Structure 1
Protein backbone atom coordinates (compact mmCIF):
# COMPACT_ATOMS: atom_id res chain seq x y z
CA UNK A 1 0.00 0.00 0.00
CA UNK A 2 1.32 3.42 -0.98
CA UNK A 3 0.06 6.11 1.37
CA UNK A 4 -1.31 9.29 -0.21
CA UNK A 5 1.22 12.13 -0.20
CA UNK A 6 -1.23 15.01 0.35
CA UNK A 7 -4.51 15.66 2.12
CA UNK A 8 -6.32 16.07 -1.21
CA UNK A 9 -4.92 12.78 -2.53
CA UNK A 10 -6.04 11.01 0.64
CA UNK A 11 -9.58 12.42 0.43
CA UNK A 12 -9.87 11.66 -3.30
CA UNK A 13 -8.79 8.08 -2.73
CA UNK A 14 -11.14 7.64 0.24
CA UNK A 15 -14.08 9.07 -1.68
CA UNK A 16 -13.20 7.15 -4.84
CA UNK A 17 -13.25 3.87 -2.93
CA UNK A 18 -16.37 4.99 -1.04
CA UNK A 19 -14.52 4.74 2.28
CA UNK A 20 -14.70 8.37 3.42
CA UNK A 21 -17.53 7.65 5.88
CA UNK A 22 -15.49 4.78 7.35
CA UNK A 23 -12.49 7.10 7.71
CA UNK A 24 -14.64 9.55 9.69
CA UNK A 25 -16.00 6.67 11.78
CA UNK A 26 -12.46 5.48 12.55
CA UNK A 27 -11.45 9.00 13.60
CA UNK A 28 -14.47 9.20 15.91
CA UNK A 29 -13.62 5.82 17.41
CA UNK A 30 -10.00 6.68 18.16
CA UNK A 31 -10.82 10.13 19.54
CA UNK A 32 -13.38 8.49 21.83
CA UNK A 33 -10.76 5.97 23.02
CA UNK A 34 -8.39 8.87 23.70
CA UNK A 35 -11.14 10.53 25.77
CA UNK A 36 -11.15 13.62 23.56
CA UNK A 37 -14.56 15.17 23.09
CA UNK A 38 -14.75 15.33 19.32
CA UNK A 39 -17.43 13.62 17.28
CA UNK A 40 -17.61 14.23 13.54
CA UNK A 41 -20.85 13.91 11.62
CA UNK A 42 -20.63 11.14 9.01
CA UNK A 43 -21.23 13.56 6.13
CA UNK A 44 -18.80 16.29 7.22
CA UNK A 45 -17.06 18.05 4.35
CA UNK A 46 -13.37 17.17 4.02
CA UNK A 47 -12.36 20.83 4.36
CA UNK A 48 -14.32 21.11 7.61
CA UNK A 49 -12.83 17.84 8.87
CA UNK A 50 -9.32 19.13 8.24
CA UNK A 51 -10.03 22.51 9.87
CA UNK A 52 -11.60 21.04 13.01
CA UNK A 53 -8.85 18.44 13.35
CA UNK A 54 -6.21 21.13 12.93
CA UNK A 55 -7.77 23.34 15.61
CA UNK A 56 -8.15 20.39 17.98
CA UNK A 57 -4.58 19.13 17.57
CA UNK A 58 -3.22 22.68 17.96
CA UNK A 59 -5.12 23.12 21.24
CA UNK A 60 -3.97 19.72 22.48
CA UNK A 61 -0.33 20.56 21.75
CA UNK A 62 -0.63 23.94 23.46
CA UNK A 63 -2.84 23.10 26.44
CA UNK A 64 -3.15 19.33 26.99
CA UNK A 65 0.09 17.76 25.83
CA UNK A 66 -0.38 14.47 27.70
CA UNK A 67 -3.74 13.94 25.96
CA UNK A 68 -2.08 14.77 22.63
CA UNK A 69 0.56 12.08 23.23
CA UNK A 70 -2.13 9.61 24.26
CA UNK A 71 -4.05 10.31 21.04
CA UNK A 72 -0.92 9.68 18.96
CA UNK A 73 -0.44 6.39 20.80
CA UNK A 74 -4.06 5.30 20.26
CA UNK A 75 -4.06 6.26 16.59
CA UNK A 76 -0.66 4.55 16.33
CA UNK A 77 1.19 7.34 14.56
CA UNK A 78 4.82 6.40 13.99
CA UNK A 79 7.09 7.96 16.58
CA UNK A 80 9.87 8.31 14.01
CA UNK A 81 7.57 10.32 11.72
CA UNK A 82 6.65 12.64 14.59
CA UNK A 83 10.34 13.14 15.44
CA UNK A 84 11.05 14.16 11.84
CA UNK A 85 8.65 17.12 12.09
CA UNK A 86 9.85 20.62 12.89
CA UNK A 87 8.45 21.55 16.30
CA UNK A 88 9.47 25.20 16.21
CA UNK A 89 6.13 26.39 14.83
CA UNK A 90 3.18 24.84 16.70
CA UNK A 91 0.73 25.82 13.97
CA UNK A 92 2.73 24.07 11.24
CA UNK A 93 3.45 21.14 13.55
CA UNK A 94 -0.26 20.64 14.25
CA UNK A 95 -1.03 20.74 10.52
CA UNK A 96 1.61 18.09 9.83
CA UNK A 97 0.38 15.92 12.71
CA UNK A 98 -3.19 16.11 11.39
CA UNK A 99 -1.98 14.69 8.10
CA UNK A 100 -0.05 11.90 9.84
CA UNK A 101 -3.16 11.03 11.86
CA UNK A 102 -5.30 10.98 8.73
CA UNK A 103 -2.73 8.85 6.90
CA UNK A 104 -2.67 6.28 9.71
CA UNK A 105 -6.46 6.22 10.02
CA UNK A 106 -6.74 5.82 6.25
CA UNK A 107 -4.29 2.93 6.40
CA UNK A 108 -6.46 1.19 9.02
CA UNK A 109 -9.65 1.70 7.01
CA UNK A 110 -8.05 0.63 3.72
CA UNK A 111 -6.53 -2.52 5.22
CA UNK A 112 -9.77 -3.49 6.96
CA UNK A 113 -11.67 -3.00 3.70
CA UNK A 114 -9.08 -4.88 1.66
CA UNK A 115 -8.93 -7.95 3.88
CA UNK A 116 -12.47 -8.34 5.19
Structure 2
Protein backbone atom coordinates (compact mmCIF):
# COMPACT_ATOMS: atom_id res chain seq x y z
CA UNK A 1 0.00 0.00 0.00
CA UNK A 2 1.44 3.35 -1.06
CA UNK A 3 0.18 6.11 1.18
CA UNK A 4 -0.82 9.41 -0.40
CA UNK A 5 1.49 12.36 0.15
CA UNK A 6 -1.17 15.05 0.52
CA UNK A 7 -4.82 15.53 1.44
CA UNK A 8 -6.09 15.80 -2.13
CA UNK A 9 -4.43 12.53 -3.19
CA UNK A 10 -5.79 10.78 -0.11
CA UNK A 11 -9.36 11.92 -0.80
CA UNK A 12 -9.03 10.99 -4.48
CA UNK A 13 -7.91 7.46 -3.54
CA UNK A 14 -10.65 7.11 -0.91
CA UNK A 15 -13.32 8.22 -3.40
CA UNK A 16 -11.91 6.01 -6.14
CA UNK A 17 -12.38 2.98 -3.89
CA UNK A 18 -15.76 4.32 -2.66
CA UNK A 19 -14.68 4.19 0.98
CA UNK A 20 -15.22 7.81 2.03
CA UNK A 21 -18.13 7.02 4.37
CA UNK A 22 -16.12 4.28 6.03
CA UNK A 23 -13.24 6.71 6.57
CA UNK A 24 -15.61 9.20 8.22
CA UNK A 25 -17.09 6.45 10.41
CA UNK A 26 -13.60 5.32 11.46
CA UNK A 27 -12.69 8.89 12.41
CA UNK A 28 -15.89 9.21 14.45
CA UNK A 29 -15.25 5.88 16.17
CA UNK A 30 -11.70 6.73 17.19
CA UNK A 31 -12.51 10.28 18.32
CA UNK A 32 -15.31 8.88 20.46
CA UNK A 33 -12.94 6.29 21.96
CA UNK A 34 -10.48 9.10 22.76
CA UNK A 35 -13.30 11.08 24.41
CA UNK A 36 -12.83 14.01 22.03
CA UNK A 37 -16.01 15.86 21.16
CA UNK A 38 -16.03 15.54 17.38
CA UNK A 39 -18.59 13.74 15.29
CA UNK A 40 -18.71 14.13 11.52
CA UNK A 41 -21.89 13.58 9.53
CA UNK A 42 -21.43 10.78 6.99
CA UNK A 43 -22.07 13.20 4.14
CA UNK A 44 -19.50 15.80 5.26
CA UNK A 45 -17.59 17.36 2.38
CA UNK A 46 -13.88 16.54 2.29
CA UNK A 47 -12.93 20.21 2.59
CA UNK A 48 -15.13 20.57 5.69
CA UNK A 49 -13.71 17.37 7.15
CA UNK A 50 -10.19 18.69 6.69
CA UNK A 51 -10.99 22.08 8.21
CA UNK A 52 -12.89 20.77 11.25
CA UNK A 53 -10.26 18.09 11.91
CA UNK A 54 -7.51 20.69 11.67
CA UNK A 55 -9.32 23.09 14.04
CA UNK A 56 -9.98 20.29 16.53
CA UNK A 57 -6.35 19.13 16.52
CA UNK A 58 -5.18 22.74 16.92
CA UNK A 59 -7.50 23.25 19.90
CA UNK A 60 -6.31 20.02 21.49
CA UNK A 61 -2.65 21.03 21.08
CA UNK A 62 -3.28 24.48 22.57
CA UNK A 63 -5.76 23.66 25.35
CA UNK A 64 -5.90 19.91 26.05
CA UNK A 65 -2.49 18.49 25.33
CA UNK A 66 -3.07 15.28 27.32
CA UNK A 67 -6.22 14.59 25.27
CA UNK A 68 -4.22 15.28 22.09
CA UNK A 69 -1.58 12.72 23.09
CA UNK A 70 -4.27 10.21 24.03
CA UNK A 71 -5.95 10.69 20.64
CA UNK A 72 -2.69 10.06 18.78
CA UNK A 73 -2.09 6.96 20.89
CA UNK A 74 -5.59 5.54 20.31
CA UNK A 75 -5.48 6.20 16.57
CA UNK A 76 -1.96 4.72 16.51
CA UNK A 77 -0.27 7.62 14.72
CA UNK A 78 3.45 6.94 14.36
CA UNK A 79 5.36 8.59 17.19
CA UNK A 80 8.41 8.77 14.94
CA UNK A 81 6.47 10.74 12.31
CA UNK A 82 5.03 13.13 14.89
CA UNK A 83 8.45 13.75 16.44
CA UNK A 84 9.87 14.48 12.98
CA UNK A 85 7.46 17.42 12.56
CA UNK A 86 8.49 20.99 13.29
CA UNK A 87 6.65 21.96 16.46
CA UNK A 88 7.67 25.62 16.47
CA UNK A 89 4.46 26.74 14.73
CA UNK A 90 1.31 25.21 16.29
CA UNK A 91 -0.74 26.00 13.16
CA UNK A 92 1.57 24.06 10.86
CA UNK A 93 1.91 21.29 13.44
CA UNK A 94 -1.89 20.92 13.67
CA UNK A 95 -2.17 20.75 9.88
CA UNK A 96 0.57 18.12 9.60
CA UNK A 97 -0.81 16.02 12.46
CA UNK A 98 -4.31 16.19 10.97
CA UNK A 99 -2.94 14.67 7.79
CA UNK A 100 -1.09 11.97 9.75
CA UNK A 101 -4.37 11.13 11.50
CA UNK A 102 -6.21 10.89 8.19
CA UNK A 103 -3.46 8.71 6.70
CA UNK A 104 -3.56 6.31 9.65
CA UNK A 105 -7.34 6.12 9.58
CA UNK A 106 -7.19 5.50 5.83
CA UNK A 107 -4.77 2.60 6.43
CA UNK A 108 -7.23 1.02 8.85
CA UNK A 109 -10.15 1.38 6.43
CA UNK A 110 -8.12 0.17 3.45
CA UNK A 111 -6.83 -2.94 5.26
CA UNK A 112 -10.29 -3.79 6.59
CA UNK A 113 -11.72 -3.48 3.08
CA UNK A 114 -8.89 -5.36 1.39
CA UNK A 115 -8.71 -8.31 3.79
Smaller-chain TM-score bracket: over 0.9
Counterpart Cα distance in 2 of 1:24 and 1:16: 15
Query: Could you report, residue by residue, the CA deviation over 1:57-95 in whole angstroms, capped at 9, with x for unpaired residues?
Result: 000000000000000000000000000000000000000
Task: Give unmatched runs, 5+ long, in structure 1.
Answer: none
Instruction: Count residues with an aligned counterpart.
Output: 115
Q: 1:44 aligns to what?
A: 44
Counterpart Cα distance in 2 of 1:89 and 1:37: 24
Q: 1:7 aligns to what?
A: 7
Give the aligned CA root-mean-square deviation in angstroms: 0.3
Q: 2:93 aligns to what?
A: 93
> How far apart are residue 24 of structure 1 and its match?
0.2
TM-score normalised per structure 2: 0.99
Q: Which structure 1 residue ranges, 4+ long, deviate > 6 Å from structure 2?
A: none
Q: How do 1:47-86 and structure 2 match up within 5 A? A: 47-86=47-86
